[in-house]
Structure 1
Amino acid sequence: MPIASPSPWRHLPNAISMLRVLLVAPICWLLWQERWPFALLLVAVAGVSDGLDGFLARHYGWQSRLGGILDAVADKLLLIACFVILAWRQHAPVWLAMIVCGRDVIIALGALGWRMLIGLIEPRPSLLSKACTLAQIIYLLMVLLALADWPGLRSTALAWLVAALCVASGVHYVLVWSRRAWQVRHADSLSPPGV
């Protein structure tokens, strides 16, 4: 029985994630220039692409370690850049930008520590982390809708929801990956020599 060849489309989710990385620079420029309608359009495209690449990877079994890393990097670059610029321009609370950035810095340092002390890391975003990313994208869209003079819901409650999800998912990551690290190191210490 012949073995089915891999689909030529299997790299599509990675290409979509790379597109999102490439969108960061023009989005930053548009935000800095306060060209809100165009920035809104590109952030919306980036938000849709975030859901699309994940759906394609899961639905067709096109997941890969590279894809998981690209997806995470694209999300963090885009969200951190948007929050920092909007806070700098006084269109988003500075405290919220600090929480968003602080969470991602902690996660990145944890991933670096895992890589240096234990080995390769497989990105596994939790449901809480996905909810946090979604809330951040919605918040950015609402802010940009308001800045573009469209009917937006620029509510303080949404900012607090984003902050709460950032803190909760950050704490969750630290607890889960600290436990995994302890289990790996403990298992290594119990392994007999040469195993």
Structure 2
Amino acid sequence: MNAIRATPNQLTFLRLCIVPFLVLAILDGHFRTAFGLFILAGITDGLDGLLARVLKQRTILGQYLDPVADKLLLSTLFLVLHHEALISRRVTVLVFARDLGILIVAAILYAGMGMRNFRPSIIGKANTLAQIIALLTVLLSQFYGPEWVLFIRHWSLMATVVLTVLSGFHYAWKVARQLGSPGVAATG
């Protein structure tokens, strides 16, 4: 099967296509639309993984494209919401720097040593969850702001800061440990 035509990869491409419309909705102040588009992007993310397993359509392209689409979506939202003064510079810089750092290190290790094992840790997954909740509540609070939404918004942004730092250090530690193991040179 052509990897580009695989249904999970089509959903990932759809998620990538949603990003500019999501950005425009935020910049135009259409937060209900932005919230809906973010939910749609989340649904495509969940479906692409499920369908890859159920339809047995896991592809090399999908293994690389899916996390890139996720990082692009989340990092772009943090940058745009910071631009609109809805998320602090500290949170945005930490999230963006960590994701950019991981992407650069992964590309270097792949190109230089053929290392391909970059599975997210439990801390990385918790960080992604905190980021998603933070972004959802930031968008939601722009048109629906009861106390519980503001509470979750505040604490999910704090969790994002803590988990971004922890997962960044954990990732660096894992890479350093992998590079120090005897079989690393043989994998390239």
TM normalised by structure 2 equals 0.85
RMSD between aligned residues: 2.4
- In the alignment, what sits opposite 1:95? 90
- C-alpha spacing 1:76/1:62, structure 2 compared with 1 (3 Å): same
- C-alpha spacing 1:52/1:128, structure 2 compared with 1 (3 Å): farther
Moved more, 39-48 or 177-186: 177-186
Number of residues of Structure 1 aligned to a counterpart in Structure 2: 182
Q: Determine if contact 2:131/2:156 at 8 Å carries over to the other structure.
A: no
Measure, in 2, the Cα distance between the counterparts of 1:90 and 1:70.
Answer: 30
Correspondence 1:45-84 to 2 at 5 A: 45-84=40-79
> Displacement, 1:115?
2.1
Measure, in 1, the Cα distance between the counterparts of 2:61 and 2:117.
Answer: 9
- C-alpha spacing 1:55/1:108, structure 2 compared with 1 (3 Å): same
Q: What is the identity percentage for the equivalent residue pairs of Structure 1 and Structure 2?
A: 34
Measure, in 2, the Cα distance between the counterparts of 1:54 and 1:131.
Answer: 18
Q: Which amino acid aligns with 2:129?
A: L
Q: What residue ranges of structure 1 are gaps of 5+ in the alignment?
A: 1-5, 189-195
Which secondary structure state, in structure 1, belongs to the residue aligned with residue 35 of structure 2? helix
Instruction: Please say if 1:130 is aligned against 2:128.
Output: no
- In the alignment, what sits opposite 2:149? 153
Q: Determine if contact 1:65/1:122 at 8 Å carries over to the other structure.
A: no
Q: Determine if contact 1:91/1:143 at 8 Å carries over to the other structure.
A: yes
Q: What residue ranges of structure 2 are gaps of 5+ in the alignment?
A: none
Moved more, 42-51 or 145-154: 145-154
Larger Rg: 1
Q: Which amino acid aligns with 1:147?
A: Q
Which secondary structure state, in structure 1, belongs to the residue aligned with residue 150 of structure 2? coil
Measure, in 2, the Cα distance between the counterparts of 1:186 and 1:86.
Answer: 40
- In the alignment, what sits opposite 1:27? 22
